[in-house]
Amino acid sequence: MEYRSEFSGDPLVVEIQGVLTFDDHERFRELAAAVADSEAATVVLDLSGLTMIDSAGIGMLIMTNDRVVKRGKTLRLRGVQGQVAKVVELSRIEQLIPVD
């Protein structure tokens, strides 16, 4: 997994690329802390470059959402496609995190 962001603006947009699995746990935790600490009221994870996600990856999205919401902010997902879209749809994540 790679991510790219200016870490500025509102909404703050982070582009996530590659494959999101258990192996990315540590880096994603850093990312979650960074976006939760940011000034932005809305954080958008752009997943259009993400090709696959496993259950640990879904867990990381939920953990990021939890952190962001606890700071009074909103997390949104956008650009889901392929296997990621299937998993997001199947798990009804939109009941927890808005999906654009």
Partner 1 sequence: MDDTPSQTGLSPADRGARILVVDDQPSSRALIGSLLKAEGYSRLAYAGDGVAAMDWLAENEADMIILDIRMPRMDGFEVCRAVRGRLGRTMPILVQTGVQEADSRVEAFRAGASDIVAKPVNAGELVSRVRLHLERRQMIHRLQRYQDRMEDELRAAQSMQLDLLPGPADIDAIVRPRGGSLTAFYRASHMLGGDLWQVFPVDETRFGIFMVDLSGHGVSAAINAFRVHMITAGLSAERHDPAQWLAALNRRLAPILPVEHFATAFYAVIDPGAGRLHYAAAGAPPPLLLRADGSWEALCGGGLILGCLADAAYETHAMDLSPGDRLFAYSDALCEDFEQPDRSLDAGEIAEAVQAEAGGGEAFADRLIARLFGRADPDFRDDLTFLLVGMTPS
- Site for partner 1 contains 34 (CB under 8 A): no
Cβ-based neighbour number of residue 80 at 10 Å: 21
Instruction: Please give the span between the terminal C-alpha atoms of the chain, in angstroms, as a whole number.
Output: 21
Piece in contact with partner 1 (CB under 8 A), picked from 1-9, 37-45, 72-80, 81-89: 81-89
Q: Which of 8, 27, 82, 26 is nearest to 49 (CA)?
A: 82
Contact stretch for partner 1 (CB under 8 A) within 8-16, 38-46, 72-80, 90-98: 90-98
14 forms part of the interface with partner 1 (CB under 8 A):
no
Query: Least CB distance from residue 6 to partner 1, whole Å?
Result: 26
Residue-wise DSSP of 14-55 = EEEEEEE-GGGHHHHHHHHHHHHHSS-SEEEEEEEEEEEE-H
Task: Tell me which residues touch partner 1 (CB under 8 A).
Answer: 19, 21-22, 51-52, 54-56, 58-60, 62-63, 66, 83, 87, 89-93, 95-96
